[in-house]
Copies of this chain bind each other. A is one copy, B any other.
Amino acid sequence: MSTLINRQLLLKTRPDARVGREHFSLVETPVPELAPGEIVVRVLYLSMDPTNRVWMSDIPQYLPPVAIGEVMRALGIGRVVASRSPDFAEGDLVQGLVGWQDYMVATAEQAAQFLTLPASPGLPLPTLLGACGMSGLTAYYGLTEIAPVQPGETLVVSAAAGSVGSIAGQIGKIHGARVVGIAGGADKCRYLTETLGFDAAVDYKADDFKQQLKAATPDGVHVNFENVGGDVMRAVLSRMVIGGRVALCGVIANYNNTRPTDDVSVLISKRLTMRGFLILDYRKSREAVEQLGAWLLAGKLKAEETVADGLENAPEVLNRLFDGSHRGKLVLRVDPQA
């Protein structure tokens, strides 16, 4: 064990806007001898999420920001390669906050937070981080607990070709809603309607975005599953019916922006309910994971992942969430053999 070399990305400075390699130090340290209760996890895949960007900023948030000099926090899947814990054996597949590094040396307390996955999960590992993981759970709870959508209602999903949005839209269809997705570019829009079965797709990069959105929502919008915020959200809210509901999942337009320009006035004029939520509050649920898995295996839900490679590329890969150059769940393969 002592010969393993661990590459780690430590937060060096806090980005103001886009993330770059210059905000991190790449260090190499030998994996230390384990204390009782500790395990070593070989990181296989990292989940690339907008929340990673939030964790880099020293602003109030639901977890403490990553401290300067700390390993960048991130969710991922790994395999136990050494264990001094009675709860984990070599070879176990685990999911948890493994961080931007090749190996995580987890204390007993950290390991207790891991979710042990079945040895043969039946789905590809990136899907377990995506449609059948946090992304899928987020979509599922957003449309059941936070802003349930009813048959015949119009649901608008932003960042609809992304990991959460693509599942949210498909769940909306399963629930019998008319589903309109917002995405960037003709290719993604076609993907939404032709591959995922959305009723309509609107290109937020198009000059006539607002006209397209209006045409796609002739009865107004009953439920907005919102991932973007900013100008995209402003346009959707302007189309909402009186008494409409917003499941506020993310506002990626604000995360790289020190002075957001949301305007909550429309919540009053349209008597809207906007409810923010975090999947943290729901992640223990078996029922939802089983439902998502069943839909996936039955072909009712289509999952897609964009897989990038190389731990050292993590900062640039994360930016793809904000420039939209990915589709479905964005994951980073850390172990080339994975």
Contact = CB atoms under 8 A, between A and B. Distances in A.
A254 interface: yes
A60 B248 CA distance: 22
Interface string A211-247: 0000000000000000001000100001000000000
**This chain: copies in complex:** 2
B281 A276 contact: no
Given A60-B238, A238-B60, A271 B281 contact: yes
Contacts of A281: 271
Q: How large is the interface on A (under 10, 10 to 19, 20 to 34, 35 or more residues)?
A: 20 to 34
A251 B263 CA distance: 9
A334 interface: no
A265 B61 CA distance: 9
B275 A248 contact: no
Contacts of A273: 273-276
Interface string A183-218: 000000000000000000000000000000000000
A261 B264 contact: no
B60 A266 contact: yes
A161 to B, nearest CB: 21
A265 B271 contact: no
A261 B265 CA distance: 11
Contact of A277 (B249, B268, B276): B268
B264 A264 contact: yes
B278 A269 contact: yes
Contacts of A62: 268-270
A262 interface: yes
A259 interface: yes
A270 B264 contact: no
Nearest to A243: B281
Contacts of A274: 264, 267, 273-275
Contact of A265 (B238, B254, B259, B272): B254
Interface in A44-96: 54, 60-62
A270 B260 contact: no
26 contacts: A60-B266, A60-B269, A62-B269, A62-B270, A233-B264, A249-B268, A251-B265, A254-B263, A254-B265, A255-B265, A260-B262, A260-B263, A260-B265, A261-B262, A262-B263, A267-B274, A268-B276, A269-B278, A271-B276, A271-B277, A272-B275, A273-B274, A273-B275, A273-B276, A274-B274, A274-B275
